[in-house]
Amino acid sequence: MMMTTKKKSPLPVKRSVPPVKPGSTAKTAPVAEGPSAAEVQLKTYEQAIQLFSQRKFAEASDRFLEVVKGPAPHISDKARSYAQVCERRMQGSEVKISTAEEHFNYGVARLNARELDTAKYHLGRALDLQPDADHVLYTLALCCGFAGDGNGACENLKRAIDLEPRNRILARQDQEFTTLATQFPGLRALLVAEPSAGY
C-alpha cells in the first residue's frame, strides 16, 4: 500500500476504494446538462449572423469558426462560408469570382448589404455551378423573400428541404424566415409542415 508523504492533516480515515484498472478512467456521476451541443451550435450561429449583419466581421468570424466545430454538418458548412466572407471583408481585397463557393460568398455579402439584385445574381451563378447545394438554395430563398418574391422563396426553400430535411428546422428557428413567413402563406405552410414518413 502506497503511503502519502507530507500530510499534515489529522489521521486519515481508512476507506476501501475499488482499484482502478490500468488504462481506464474513473467515471464521474452524470451532471445535469444544459443545452445540447447542437442547440449551442445553432445559438452561436444566430449570434454570429447578427454580428455579421452589424458588419462586426472580426467578432462574427470568431463565432462562425466556433460553429464550424459543432455537430451539425449543414450548419458547419454555412458557418464556414460566412467565416470566409468575414475574412475577405477584413482584408478589404477584391477577389476573382469564378467558383460556386466564391459566387455564394459574394452573394451572401451582397444579401447582408441588401443589394438584392446583385445577391440573387451571384447566388444563381453558384447554383448553376453546384445545383444540389442546399445551403445556396436556402440563402437564395431568403434573398427572394426579401425581394418580395414569395414564389421564389417557397420554391428554393422547398428544394433546400428536399435535399436536406434539417433545413426546415433551421428555417423555423431563423428569425428572418419567420418574419418572411408572416408575409407569404406558402412559406409559412412550408415551415409548419411535418416531415413525411420518408424523412
Does one domain contain both 138 and 106?
Answer: yes
- Same structural domain, 61 and 121: no
pLDDT-based confidence at residue 158 (cuts at 50, 70, 90) = very high
| 33-42, 46-55, 111-120, 133-142: which is most confident | 133-142
Q: Comparing 166 with 19, which gets the higher pLDDT?
A: 166
In a domain, 31, yes or no: no
Residue-level pLDDT at 137 = 94
| Grid cell listed for 56 | 462586426
**161 and 90, same domain (yes or no):** no
Using an 8 Å Cβ cutoff, are 63 and 47 in contact?
yes
Whether residue 29 is contained in a domain is answered as no
Q: Confirm whether 32 is domain-assigned.
A: no
Asked if residue 197 has pLDDT above 50, the reply is no
Residues 186 and 136 in one domain: yes
Question: CA-to-CA distance for 81 and 111, rounded, in angstroms?
Answer: 14
Whether residue 4 has pLDDT greater than 90: no
Q: How far apart are CA 159 and CA 152, in angstroms?
A: 11
Residue-by-residue DSSP string for the chain: -----S--SSPPPP---PPPPTT--PPPPP----S-HHHHHHHHHHHHHHHHHTT-HHHHHHHHHHHHTSS-HHHHHHHHHHHHHHHHHHHT------SHHHHHHHHHHHHHTT-HHHHHHHHHHHHHH-TT-HHHHHHHHHHHHHTT-HHHHHHHHHHHHHH-THHHHHHHT-HHHHHHHTT-HHHHHHHHPPPPTT-
What CATH number is given to the structural domain containing 145? 1.25.40.10
pLDDT at 125: 93
Tell me what the pLDDT averaged over the chain comes to: 81
Please tell me whether the overall predicted TM-score, pTM, comes out greater than 0.95 for this model: no
- 89 and 141 in a single domain? The answer is no
pLDDT tens digit string along 30-77? Answer: 555 678 888 899 999 999 988 888 888 888 888 998 998 889 888 888
Q: Which residue has the higher pLDDT, 27 or 178?
A: 178
Domain that holds residue 114: 98-192
Write down the pLDDT at residue 31.
54
Domains contained in the chain, number: 2
Work out the average pLDDT over 88-110.
80
CA dihedral over 151, 123, 146, 171, signed as positive or negative: positive
Q: What is the pLDDT of residues 8-41, one digit of tens each?
A: 545 554 554 455 455 544 455 555 567 888 889 9
Statement to judge: residues 113 and 156 lie in one domain: yes
Above 60 in pLDDT, residue 7? no
Residues 66 and 138 in one domain: no
What's the pLDDT score for residue 194? 66
Last residue of a domain, one of 54, 78, 94: 94
Type of residue found at 71: P
Residue in the block written with cell 438554395:
137
When pLDDT is cut at 50, 70 and 90, the band that residue 139 belongs to is very high
Q: With cut-offs at 50, 70 and 90, classify the pLDDT of residue 94.
A: low
Both 179 and 107 in a single domain?
A: yes
Q: What is the pLDDT of residue 198?
A: 41
